[in-house]
């Protein structure tokens, strides 16, 4: 191999240094490092300038507007439970359903109303009790001595109330319809009550025993019984029963 003379190598290095703007190997190294060293401070100086706006923005948050008092009150107000909404929505339906299940009011001129008034105000309640439970030696109109048991036929009970125990005996009767002997003490009401009132109080006493008016039951032997025991007023009693049959008492 041929060896390159030293002076040629030196000339080559000098020429490369001249072309690169340096002065040889020693000059080239600082030249190459210098730009990098000078560039670093420039980047360090630029970084704080770029970060400054972000720091400033974080240091000054936007002002929060106060909540209006009516909005705050609405948020604090106790809320209706979720289950209450369907319940409230159904209230009108239940109200109508309840109203439909109620018994219709009794008319003021109804035989039922008249019977209540006669029983309460004309002396019946004073002897037999407000609810028909009896009073001392006076028998009850319900229970074991219920009028529906003593007088299975309404017509016979009407005649009994009209005549009383003395009038019943005077008509030749010694027992009541169920066979019990007549002991006395029952006043006759035909002189103080008219046929409509006696019929109404008879109805009331049977209602006390949970018996509803039945035209067929009341019609049994009615005309014949009235003709036998109250002949002078038989037509009036029969007229009342006809009216009740056409429009049953409620």
- pTM value is 0.60
Match domain 111-246 to its CATH number in 3.60.10.10, 3.40.630.30, 3.40.228.10, 1.10.760.10: 1.10.760.10
Delimit the domains of the chain by residue range. 9-36, 111-246
The torsion region of residue 143 among left (phi > 0), alpha (psi -120 to 50) and beta comes to left
Can you read off the two tokens belonging to residue 159? Answer: 């005649």
> What's residue 80's pLDDT?
73
3 state SS of 35: helix
The whole-angstrom separation of Cα 242 and Cα 73 is 71
**147, exposed or middle or buried, with CB in 10 Å at 0-12, 13-18, 19+?**
buried
Q: Which of 33, 35, 37, 11 is nearest to 24 (CA)?
A: 11
The C-alpha angle 236, 239, 245, rounded to 5 degrees, equals: 145
The whole-angstrom separation of Cα 224 and Cα 222 is 6
Length of the chain: 250
Tell me how far apart the terminal alpha carbons of the chain are, to the nearest angstrom. Answer: 146
The whole-angstrom separation of Cα 73 and Cα 201 is 65
Q: How many CB atoms lie within 10 A of CB 112?
A: 16
Q: How many CB atoms lie within 10 A of CB 170?
A: 11
Q: Which of 23, 43, 45 is nearest to 32 (CA)?
A: 23
Per-residue pLDDT of the chain (250 residues; tens, 9 = 90+): 566 677 777 777 887 777 776 544 444 444 444 444 444 444 444 544 545 555 555 556 667 888 888 788 777 877 777 777 788 888 887 788 777 776 665 556 799 999 999 999 999 999 999 999 998 889 999 999 999 999 999 999 999 999 999 999 999 999 999 999 998 899 999 999 999 999 999 999 999 999 999 999 999 999 999 999 999 999 999 999 999 999 999 8
């Amino acid at each position: 191999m041929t060896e390159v003379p030293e002076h040629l190598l030196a000339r080559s290095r000098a020429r490369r240094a001249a072309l690169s703007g340096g002065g040889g190997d020693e000059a080239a190294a600082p030249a190459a490092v210098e730009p990098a060293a000078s560039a670093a401070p420039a980047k360090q100086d630029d970084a704080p300038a770029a970060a400054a706006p972000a720091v400033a923005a974080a240091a000054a948050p936007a002002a929060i507007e106060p909540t209006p008092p009516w909005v705050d009150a609405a948020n604090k107000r106790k809320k209706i439970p979720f289950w209450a909404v369907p319940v409230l929505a159904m209230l009108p339906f239940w109200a109508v359903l309840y109203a439909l299940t109620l018994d219709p009011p009794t008319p003021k001129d109804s035989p039922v109303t008249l019977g209540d008034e006669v029983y309460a105000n004309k002396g019946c309640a004073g002897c037999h009790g407000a609810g028909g439970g009896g009073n001392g030696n006076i028998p009850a109109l319900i229970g074991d001595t219920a009028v529906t048991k003593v007088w299975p036929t309404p017509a016979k009970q009407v005649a009994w109330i009209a005549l009383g125990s003395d009038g019943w005996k005077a008509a030749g009767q010694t027992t009541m319809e169920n066979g019990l002997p007549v002991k006395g003490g029952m006043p006759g009401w035909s002189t103080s009550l008219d046929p409509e009132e006696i019929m109404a109080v008879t109805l009331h006493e049977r209602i006390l025993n949970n018996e509803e008016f039945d035209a067929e039951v009341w019609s049994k032997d009615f005309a014949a019984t009235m003709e036998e025991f109250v002949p002078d007023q038989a037509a009036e009693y029969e007229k009342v029963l006809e009216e009740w049959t056409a429009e049953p008492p409620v």
